[in-house]
Each structure stands twice: as structure tokens, then as C-alpha cells.
Amino acid sequence: MTLGGYIDLSTGKQLRDVLDAAAKTASYLVVDMSRLGFMDSTGLSVLVDMYKRLDKRGGSLALAAPQPIVAKVLAISGLDRVLKVHASVAQAVATSAGGGAP
């Protein structure tokens, strides 16, 4: 799944709805952040909730190719140490289901 634009209070519910729908049929989600220009605490909260939900049932959530400003938000919040953050979608896909080295 590819995110674009901005994730903030006004778009957080949309993100939650999209991730919820995807999680109904998948245990491993890769979120391509290469087109995401901004994310605030609303987006972080949605990602943490999805991470917990997938982890509870043995799945995982991986983030791929965050733009520098989004990577900074992940780093400041410490979520880059909790969530799997990869340099590319290909790397995230290869490691999400345990199929390769991180």
C-alpha cells in the first residue's frame, strides 16, 4: 500500500480505515511512504495501533522509503526503533514475512 500527501488529524481516519481493510486479508503489511510528505502524531497513533493488532496475531507491519521529514518524525517519536523501517519497498517485502535478512 502506498501513502501520499499528508497524514494528520483530518486524514487519520482514512488511513485507519484503509489499514483496517487491508489487515482483514493480510497478516503482513508493507506501507510505502515514498510519496508521503508529512505525518503528525495522528498517523503515528494509527501505525502503532496497526502494529499491535498485526503483532498480536503473528503478523507484522513494515514501513518503506519514508521521506526525510517523515523519517525524522519516526525517529523523534522513537517508532523507528519499534516498527520495521526499510530503505525500499523491495527490502520491506523481502523481510516482512521472514523471507530474508533485515
Give pLDDT tens digits for 50-62: 999 999 999 999 9
For helices 41-56 and 68-77, angle between their N-to-C axes, nearest 10 degrees: 70
Q: What is the mean pLDDT of the chain?
A: 92
Joined together, the cell numbers standing for residue 102 give 533485515
User: Can you list the domains of the chain with their CATH numbers?
Assistant: 2-96 (3.30.750.24)
pLDDT grade for 98, boundaries at 50, 70 and 90: low
Closest CA to 31 of 70, 78, 89: 89
On the question of pLDDT at 101 being above 50, the answer is: no
Task: Between 102 and 85, name the one with better pLDDT.
Answer: 85
Closest CA to 8 of 38, 51, 47, 34: 38
Cβ burial 34-61 (10 Å sphere, 16+ → b, else e) = eebeebeebbbebbeebbeebeeeebbb
Give pLDDT tens digits for 13-27: 999 999 999 999 999
What is the model's pLDDT at position 53? 95
